[in-house]
Amino acid sequence: MTTERHTWIAFLRAINLGATRKFPKAAIVAAVVRAGGTDVETYINTGNVRFDHPVGDRAEMEAILEEAFAADRFFEVPTICTTPAELKVIANDATAVGMGHEGRQYVFLCKEHSDSSSRDALVARAGEDERVYVIGRAVHLLTENVHKTKIDNAVVERHIAVSTNRNVNVIRTLADKWA
């Protein structure tokens, strides 16, 4: 008897940013394995992990990982999961919205979808040299100067949901590698 396995790509928020939130790749892999994950891979040290698991529900998978990570690290690690197909769509959307943009591009991956008023409020927060697109559970930020941006995780979370961001190159690389 074989158990169906689902492939997930998890993005961990706010790890390896300071002395108190360290979460090395080997420890991430071990925690995912303890949580029932198999065929676990990571990419760079910012909390990107691909694995297979019998759980097929995204919210349930996120909760399982968050519990495992908290047990391992003794601090909360908000986690956003996507399927490989969802990540491919996010990467394709990033390419489409970024066409012709010469500045920096980031993608915020959100736990939940937004409603139209939340999307509109977030888009309205963008600075003069910024463009924001909310597509599905992703917020795409195009900016000329990331250090002066008015859109960060706190703002996205205030308007939409818990989120974590990656530069567009990481999103494209992971989509090519894992999707």
pLDDT by residue (tens digit) across 46-72?
899 999 999 999 999 999 999 999 999
Q: pLDDT tier at 19 (50, 70, 90 boundaries)?
A: confident
For 60, the domain range is: 6-82
> What proportion of the chain, given as a percentage, has pLDDT over 90?
87
Tokens of 43: 């990419």
| Count of alpha carbons within 13 angstroms of residue 73, beta-carbon side | 28
What confidence tens digit (pLDDT) does each residue in 112-170 have? 999 999 999 999 999 989 999 999 999 999 999 888 899 999 999 999 999 999 999 99
Are 143 and 161 in a shared domain? Answer: yes
Name residue, tokens 């989509």: 175
Predicted TM-score of the model (pTM): 0.94
Average pLDDT for 86-99: 97
Specify whether the CB–CB gap between 109 and 11 falls below 8 A: yes
Residue 1 is assigned to a structural domain of this protein: no
Within 13 Å of residue 125, how many CA atoms lie on the same side as its CB?
A: 23
CB atoms within 10 A of CB 40: 19
- Domain end, chosen from 47, 66, 82, is at 82
Give the model's confidence band at 79: pLDDT under 50 very low, under 70 low, under 90 confident, else very high: very high
Residue 58 belongs to some domain of the structure: yes
Please state the rounded mean pLDDT for residues 24-30.
95
The last residue of a domain, from among 82, 113, 147: 82
Whole-angstrom Cα distance, residue 5 to residue 63? Answer: 17
Q: Domain check: are 97 and 114 in the same one? A: yes
